[in-house]
Amino acid sequence: MTHWKKLTNPDYLGAYALEEGQELVVTIDYVREETVIGPDGKKEDCTVIHFKDKVKPMILNVTNAKTIAKIYSTPYIEEWVGKKIQLYVAQVKAFGEVVEALRIRPYMPKEDTYICAACGEEITPAGQLTARDIAMNTQKKYGKMLCATHWAELRDKAKTEEKTNENNENQN
Ligand SMILES: [Zn+2]
């Protein structure tokens, strides 16, 4: 008897990596054949998909490979580079039990849009940061989502204020 958890390899992305209800949008970096060492120490050649995002690579099974091929209308892994996929946890039957498995939504992920609280414009990526990074950063720091321009403005303002305070302290 094999407990399904025995088949979960912590070196690779799996259903365990997602919180309940969470869906993960990731960008494909490259896909290649790799020798995977399972939790039981057994070696197996698998197709592994690597992402540009800071997440573990994922072992690509037939179901998920077919989904990507369908979404992007190409069976060629070279043409999957740079494409986005949306991962979710599905309940699937395996070993006579219902278990959780990582699956790909059968459509192109919808981009989340974030609106700048200062100018009302959509937040766009800047430098290494995605629109989401910028939105999350400013939300955390300032309690509102800001575009890169207005974030920079606020940062500069904060710096100027710091300097003014320093000057005032020196004068006192
Ligand atoms: Zn703005």
Cα–ligand 1 centroid distance for 26 (angstroms):
26
CB 12 within 8 A of CB 56: yes
**Alpha-carbon 127 to chain mean position:** 17
Cα–ligand 1 centroid distance for 116 (angstroms):
5
pLDDT in tens, 122-132: 899 999 898 88
Domain spans in the chain, listed from the N-terminal domain onward = 4-104, 111-172
Cα–ligand 1 centroid distance for 7 (angstroms):
47
pLDDT at 147 over 90: yes
Angle, CA 22 vertex, CA 19 and CA 25 arms, to 5°: 125
Number of residues that make up the chain: 172
- Could you tell me which residues are beta bridge partners of residue 46? 34
Q: Which two tokens stand for residue 111?
A: 């981009």
Q: What is the pLDDT of residue 80?
A: 96
Q: What is the pLDDT of residue 87?
A: 93
Tell me the pTM: 0.61
Cα–ligand 1 centroid distance for 141 (angstroms):
15
Least confident of 1-5, 60-64, 131-135: 1-5
Cα–ligand 1 centroid distance for 123 (angstroms):
7
